[in-house]
Amino acid sequence: MLKTGEPVLDKAQIERRVAELGPWFHDLDLDGVRTAPDHFLWGYPENKYKRFRHVIPEDLSGKSVLDIGCNAGFYSFEMKRRGAARVLGIDHDERYLEQARFAAGVFGLTDIEFRRGEVWDVGALGERFDVVVFMGVLYHLRHPLLALDLIREHVADDLLLFQSLQAGSKGMYRPDPDYDFFDGLGEFDRPEWPRMHFIEQRYAGDPTNWWVPNEAASAGMLRAAGFDIVEHPDTDVFLCRAAAAPAGAAVYPAKGSLA
């Protein structure tokens, strides 16, 4: 397929480059070449996306999108295909960004910017976005609520698309506004209580898996960071809208710099 301004690659060339850039987490279809056909999450994230794509506005014309932890760019590409005017994908792993840039070239979606960056430094972007995509990153963080606070404070202007690996009880249990110091402690033992599971060692061989929330904890943290949940199309997927920051929410100044 001819891509304006891009070298035309035949299938063998794409296959070679895909192999050089691997291993891939995102299973993209690059002109017939699959990037992660043997990955244990087969067809990821396309198969997952099918379950919640309907909650994202079909037309993002004129909108700006920040994809945090963009990996090989699947969600950046999808938001661009919905007409977003500006798409910025950041990830702290340069290897994934190389994959994303290569895939963008094959797709002919070359006006997406892929930049190295940590979620901790979003304040340094100095830019707010109509849509922030924060999918599959929270459980990789040592300080998950801080990340949500930073996103709300510095970059989220309207929509947040959020997903996390979850474990434990399902459901959106919402605790009472307050509890008695002694009598209330027992409430924490309810299985449906918002709960984070701490991983001191490893999960699935990955030392960057730190905290796995249950469904109620994902929802509670989103609310606590100043997001209203407007759609909940899958147990681990939330579409939120930036709301007023809750009383007592921490404010973190912008610092650091993103190259």
Q: Which residues bind ligand SAM (CB under 6 A)?
A: 25, 45, 69, 71, 74, 91-93, 96, 118-119, 135-137, 140-141
Question: What's the closest the beta carbon of residue 174 comes to ligand SAM, in angstroms?
Answer: 26
Q: Answer for the pair 102, 71: CB distance below 8 angstroms, yes or no.
A: no
Q: Select 112 or 119, whichever has its Cβ closest to ligand SAM.
A: 119
Query: Whole-number minimum distance, CB 191 to ligand SAM, in Å?
Result: 26
Whose Cβ is closer to ligand SAM: residue 107's or residue 173's? 107
Smaller CB separation from ligand SAM, 45 or 173: 45
DSSP for 69-125, please give it: T-TTSHHHHHHHHTTBSEEEEEES-HHHHHHHHHHHHHHT-TT-EEEE--GGGGGGG
Nearest C-alpha neighbor of 90 from the set 76, 111, 80, 110: 76
β pairing state of 211-213 and 113-116: unpaired
Give whichever of 74 and 102 is closer to ligand SAM, judged by the CB atom. Answer: 74
- In angstroms, what is the minimal distance from the CB of 151 to ligand SAM? 11
Angle at 131 between CA 150 and CA 157, to 5 degrees: 55
The span from the CA of 218 to the CA of 223, in Å, is: 9
Least distance from ligand SAM to the Cβ atom of residue 205, Å: 13
Tokens of 33: 């070449």
Cβ at position 208, least distance to ligand SAM in Å? 6
Residue closest to ligand SAM when measured from CB atoms: 69
Nearer to ligand SAM, 121 or 215 (CB): 121
Q: Which helix (H) or strand (E) holds 135?
A: strand 129-135
List the structure tokens of 59.
């037309």
Given a contact cutoff of 8 angstroms between Cβ atoms, the answer to whether 106 and 14 are in contact is yes
Closest approach of ligand SAM to the CB of residue 155, in Å: 13
Q: Whose Cβ is closer to ligand SAM: residue 120's or residue 193's? A: 120
State the nearest-atom distance from the C-beta of 121 to ligand SAM, in Å. Answer: 8
What gap in Å lies between CA 228 and CA 235, rounded to an integer?
A: 16
| DSSP structural state of residue 42 | T
C-beta closer to ligand SAM: residue 177 or 205: 205
Q: Are 134 and 240 in contact (CB under 8 A)?
A: no
